[in-house]
């Protein structure tokens, strides 16, 4: 199944004298985390299906530096950033798509100040674009009438005002989109941002992902849709904590579309 | 002797305003203790933000009940200033209802002030009930004990008293007009205070004049007292909300400014032609401190933020860390910053313009590491703030100090940073394995 994926690297294309339409920034979670790798693959399957000319940096990609920056290590962040920018600029990258809102935010907002100017889009925006251009169609009805609730990733929604693209995609699945108590600008964090993903939470009454999962469960969903590998992990853990993993799925929007398309 | 009240009034006015001006000077001095930051960009957008957010109160109505009540008090406050203007002119010139010449318009104005005063009283009572009877969660958090709690109530009491004085003054005046008393111009329309007139039944004209004069004086002295109370109170927001929304953060909320001092160092490290053994020149400035541990390390917009905070707690009630019982409260971050800044200001005043080290700082003595590390940087607080305060920026600056100056990050984060440094990922995986997912089933 793995062999089905066509994943050219920037280096390969460069050697062949080609320039892809868009660089797919996979991100650390998308590259290494077992759960997030499934999202990466689902997205690539869609790109392949839609004949999108893209490439990845592969081994030349490095952490954007987002977790270092949010932890306060501006040095490490900037070292990462200038190195990545050097690589991307050498390949003449113009447009970047990523499935991680943290990479998205950093590449889009913080890299320009250090010499990295690209058009950066989140994969939900990119998929919405493919849909609008008719390059993918979403028929099949796997999700027809299913109750799906969408968890807004802070770094996609509140931080960058991307609220509608993921929702439009869910609606296109013929699913019933149900909103949580806190959504859009007032969405509740999954608990992983600001480097919290990599440390134990501070002492409190409960973990943030449990609070958010409770809000999600309040909508009686069949599926909790996410658009961030960190959120995905946090919500999956939350659903497990509530012993609902048998009845409620946590899926990235790319995975939902790949499933609908039977890819 | 005839001019005694006028002279007395002028003195009261000058002392009241003079004292206030002195405090404003101190306020500006304290805010300027912060580092300089360039906020001269994008003026049209800034004016738009100020008009929408401060003048238009757009973010207040996100929560409709307090939002609408707040708008009533706000409009009442703005409009009633016309009345204050009349009082000041009357006080200085010894006239009475100097604007009465406006005729029908005057009657309309007085009537609208009265209705607004009534609505303000109503709102203030509901606000008091929310704070003291219903005890809404966000008003009883740990940082709201003592002065912050009393300050909140005090403002409500003062507003209530001022409005009651205004209405009693009008009622006595109206009654005196009915009796064709000399000096009491027949003008104004009194839709609310007319209901107070039965209280004055059977009082002599002399008594009525005493009531009218004393409420008039108490009203204006009360206003001057309130003006001077502002500096010591969270109520400073009625003035600072305007500059604060003007200077507030523009652009994507997720963007955290890249530290220029670090960029300089990083560029030097990446420059192959830089001499790694170069000694700093004699006149080189001392290396800049990274991040913030005290108020002087913050920039002046952050300090302005602290003075603008009205402790409403909308930030804290949306903060995911606070919602789940962690110590972090974005409101407390702002209150601590203001408290420490005030302390530094007093230190400077006491030492004739110089700050003498008091062995304290914002970090540790006011804000603990535990609070700082609980933040998910989700921006819920900045979104919730009705006046564009950015507590997250202070948290981030202090984290920078903890990590870059003190190497005091939690050990898990040190591991994460070590991994990024060595492997280009926050987890201990080899960068060369980055594309392995492609061939895994």
**CB within 8 Å: A56 and B435:** yes
pLDDT above 90: residue A263: no
Strand partners, A56: A9
Provide, as residue numbers in chain A, all residues whose Cβ is less than 8 Å from the Cβ of B403: 71-73
Of the partner residues B267, B409, B415, the one whose CB lies closest to the CB of residue A72: B409
On whether the CB atoms of residues A145 and A220 are closer than 8 A, the answer is no
pLDDT for res B68: 96
What's the mean pLDDT in A102-113? Answer: 98
Cβ-proximal residues to B17 (8 Å cutoff; 6+ apart), any chain:
B224, B227
pLDDT above 80: residue B278: no
Provide, as residue numbers in chain B, all residues whose Cβ is less than 8 Å from the Cβ of A191: 320, 376
pLDDT for res A49: 95
Confidence band for A204, pLDDT divided at 50, 70 and 90: very high
What's the mean pLDDT in B290-300? Answer: 97
**CB within 8 Å: B426 and A63:** yes
pLDDT for res A140: 64
Locate the chain A residue with the closest alpha carbon to B419.
A63
**CB within 8 Å: B429 and A192:** no
pLDDT above 90: residue A240: yes
On whether the CB atoms of residues A12 and A55 are closer than 8 A, the answer is yes
What's the mean pLDDT in B406-425? Answer: 97
Backbone angles phi, psi at B399, to 5 degrees: -65, -40
Confidence band for A129, pLDDT divided at 50, 70 and 90: very high
A vs B: CB pairs below 8 A: 224
pLDDT for res A2: 42
pLDDT per residue as tens digits for the range B230-265: 999 999 999 999 999 999 999 999 999 999 999 998
Backbone angles phi, psi at B270, to 5 degrees: -85, -10
On whether the CB atoms of residues B398 and B292 are closer than 8 A, the answer is yes
**CB within 8 Å: A82 and B321:** no
pLDDT for res B141: 95
pLDDT above 80: residue B434: yes
pLDDT above 70: residue B13: yes
**CB within 8 Å: B380 and A188:** yes
**CB within 8 Å: B376 and A208:** yes
Locate the chain A residue with the closest alpha carbon to B415.
A198
Calculated CA dihedral for residues A37, A42, A44, A48, nearest 10 degrees: 160
Cβ-proximal residues to B349 (8 Å cutoff; 6+ apart), any chain:
B26
Residues of A155-193 as b/e, b for ≥16 C-beta within 10 angstroms?
Answer: bbbbbbebbebbbbbbebbbbbbbebebbebbbbbbbbb
Token representation of residue B354: 């110089």
CA proximity to A230, closest of A246, A217, A212: A212
CA distance B298 to chain A (A): 15
Which one of B251, B324, B408 would you mutate to disrupt binding with A, by most A Cβ within 10 Å of its Cβ? Answer: B324
Q: Order the strands of the A147-150 sheet from edge to edge.
A: A176-178, A147-150, A223-226, A249-252
pLDDT per residue as tens digits for the range B307-324: 999 999 999 999 999 999
* Residue-wise DSSP of A109-142: IISGGGT---EEEEHHHHHHHHHHTTSS---S-T
Ramachandran bin of A64, using left for φ above 0, alpha for ψ from -120 to 50, beta for the remaining angles = alpha
Name the residue with higher pLDDT: B283 or B69: B69
CA distance A12 to chain B (A): 13
From first CA to last CA, the distance across chain B in angstroms is: 100
Provide, as residue numbers in chain B, all residues whose Cβ is less than 8 Å from the Cβ of A199: 373, 410, 412-413, 416
Calculated CA dihedral for residues A96, A101, A107, A108, nearest 10 degrees: 90
Question: Distance (Å, rounded) from C-alpha B425 to C-alpha A26?
Answer: 12
Locate the chain A residue with the closest alpha carbon to B63.
A186
Locate the chain A residue with the closest alpha carbon to B416.
A198
**CB within 8 Å: A70 and B266:** no
Of chain A, the percentage scoring pLDDT greater than 70 comes to 98
What's the mean pLDDT in A81-90? Answer: 98
Question: Distance (Å, rounded) from C-alpha B374 to C-alpha A253?
Answer: 29
Strand partners, A24: A97
Which one of B405, B422, B438 would you mutate to disrupt binding with A, by most A Cβ within 10 Å of its Cβ? Answer: B438
Confidence band for A88, pLDDT divided at 50, 70 and 90: very high
The SS3 of residue B311 is coil
pLDDT per residue as tens digits for the range A31-66: 999 999 999 999 999 999 999 999 999 999 999 999
CA distance A159 to chain B (A): 4
Provide, as residue numbers in chain A, all residues whose Cβ is less than 8 Å from the Cβ of B402: 72
Token representation of residue B10: 């002028």
Which CA distances in Å does B304 have to B15, B40, B203?
A: 26, 16, 51
**pLDDT, chain B, mean:** 94
**CB within 8 Å: B431 and A59:** yes
The SS3 of residue A56 is strand
Backbone angles phi, psi at A251, to 5 degrees: -135, 145
| Residue B411 burial (CB count, 10 A) | 9
pLDDT for res A137: 87
Of the partner residues A71, A79, A208, the one whose CB lies closest to the CB of residue B409: A71
Of chain B, the percentage scoring pLDDT greater than 90 comes to 88
Token representation of residue A138: 């979403």
Provide, as residue numbers in chain A, all residues whose Cβ is less than 8 Å from the Cβ of B435: 7, 9, 31, 56, 58-59
Cβ-proximal residues to B129 (8 Å cutoff; 6+ apart), any chain:
none
pLDDT per residue as tens digits for the range B342-389: 999 999 999 999 999 999 999 999 999 999 999 999 999 999 999 999
CA proximity to A255, closest of A224, A221, A214, A212: A224
CA distance A37 to chain B (A): 6
Question: Distance (Å, rounded) from C-alpha B337 to C-alpha B343?
Answer: 10
Q: How far is CA A159 from the centre of its chain?
A: 14
Provide, as residue numbers in chain A, all residues whose Cβ is less than 8 Å from the Cβ of B252: 105, 108-109, 159-161
């Amino acid at each position: 199944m793995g062999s089905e994926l066509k994943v050219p690297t920037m280096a390969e294309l460069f050697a062949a004298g080609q320039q892809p339409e868009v660089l797919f920034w996979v991100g650390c979670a998308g590259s290494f985390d077992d759960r997030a790798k499934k999202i990466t693959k689902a997205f690539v399957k869609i790109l392949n299906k839609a004949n999108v000319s893209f490439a990845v940096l592969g081994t030349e990609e490095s952490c954007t530096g987002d977790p270092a920056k949010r932890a306060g290590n501006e040095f490490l962040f900037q070292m990462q950033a200038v190195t990545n920018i050097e690589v991307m600029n050498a390949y003449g990258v113009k447009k970047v798509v990523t499935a991680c809102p943290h990479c998205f935010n950093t590449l889009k907002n913080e890299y320009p100040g250090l010499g990295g100017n690209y058009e950066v889009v989140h994969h939900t925006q990119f998929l919405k674009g493919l849909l609008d251009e008719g390059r993918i169609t979403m028929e099949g009805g796997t999700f027809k009438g299913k109750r799906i609730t969408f968890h807004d990733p802070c770094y996609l929604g509140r931080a960058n005002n991307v609220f509608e693209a993921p929702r439009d995609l869910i609606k296109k699945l013929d699913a019933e989109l149900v909103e949580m108590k806190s959504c859009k600008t007032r969405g509740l964090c999954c608990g992983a941002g600001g480097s919290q993903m990599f440390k134990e939470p501070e002492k409190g009454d409960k973990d943030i992902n449990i609070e958010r999962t409770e809000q999600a469960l309040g909508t009686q969903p069949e599926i909790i849709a996410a658009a961030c590998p960190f959120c995905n992990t946090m919500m999956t853990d939350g659903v497990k904590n509530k012993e609902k993993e048998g009845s409620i799925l946590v899926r990235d929007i790319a995975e939902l579309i790949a499933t609908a398309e039977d890819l | 002797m005839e001019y005694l009240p006028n002279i007395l009034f002028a003195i009261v006015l000058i002392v009241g305003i003079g004292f206030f001006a002195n405090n404003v000077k101190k306020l500006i001095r304290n805010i300027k203790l912060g580092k300089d930051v360039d906020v001269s960009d994008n003026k049209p957008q800034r004016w738009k933000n100020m008009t929408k957010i401060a003048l238009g109160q757009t973010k207040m109505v996100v929560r409709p009940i307090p939002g609408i009540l707040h708008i009533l008090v706000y409009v009442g406050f703005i409009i009633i200033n016309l009345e204050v203007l009349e009082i000041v002119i009357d006080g200085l010139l010894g006239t009475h209802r100097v604007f009465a010449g406006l005729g029908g318009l005057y009657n309309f104005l007085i009537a609208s002030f009265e209705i607004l005063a009534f609505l303000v009283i109503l709102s203030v009572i509901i606000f008091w009930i929310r704070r003291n009877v219903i005890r809404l969660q966000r008003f009883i958090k740990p940082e709201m004990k003592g002065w912050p709690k009393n300050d909140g109530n005090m403002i409500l009491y003062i507003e209530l008293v001022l409005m009651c004085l205004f209405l009693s003054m009008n009622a006595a005046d109206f009654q005196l007009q009915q009796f064709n008393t000399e000096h009491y111009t027949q003008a104004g329309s009194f839709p609310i205070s007319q209901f107070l007139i039965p209280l004055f039944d059977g009082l002599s004209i002399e008594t009525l004049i005493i009531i009218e004069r004393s409420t008039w004086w108490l009203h204006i002295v009360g206003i001057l007292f309130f003006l001077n109370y502002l500096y010591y109170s969270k109520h400073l927001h009625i003035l600072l909300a305007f500059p604060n929304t003007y200077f507030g953060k523009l652009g994507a909320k997720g963007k955290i400014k890249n530290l220029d001092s670090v960029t300089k160092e990083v560029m030097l490290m990446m420059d192959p032609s830089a001499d790694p053994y170069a000694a700093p020149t004699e006149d080189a400035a001392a290396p800049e401190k990274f991040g913030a541990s005290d108020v002087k390390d913050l920039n002046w917009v952050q300090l302005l933020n602290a003075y603008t905070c009205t402790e409403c707690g909308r930030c804290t009630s949306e903060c995911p860390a606070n919602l789940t019982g962690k110590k972090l409260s974005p409101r407390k971050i702002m209150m601590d910053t203001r408290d420490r800044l005030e302390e530094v200001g007093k230190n400077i005043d006491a030492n004739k313009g110089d700050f003498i080290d008091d062995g304290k700082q914002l970090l540790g003595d006011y804000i603990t590491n535990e609070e700082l590390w609980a933040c998910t940087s989700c921006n819920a607080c900045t979104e919730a703030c009705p006046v564009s305060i950015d507590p997250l920026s202070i948290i981030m600056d202090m984290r920078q100090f903890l990590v870059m100056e003190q190497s005091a990050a939690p050990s898990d984060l040190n591991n994460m940073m070590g991994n990024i440094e060595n492997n280009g990922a926050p987890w201990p995986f080899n960068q060369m394995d980055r594309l392995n997912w492609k061939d895994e089933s």
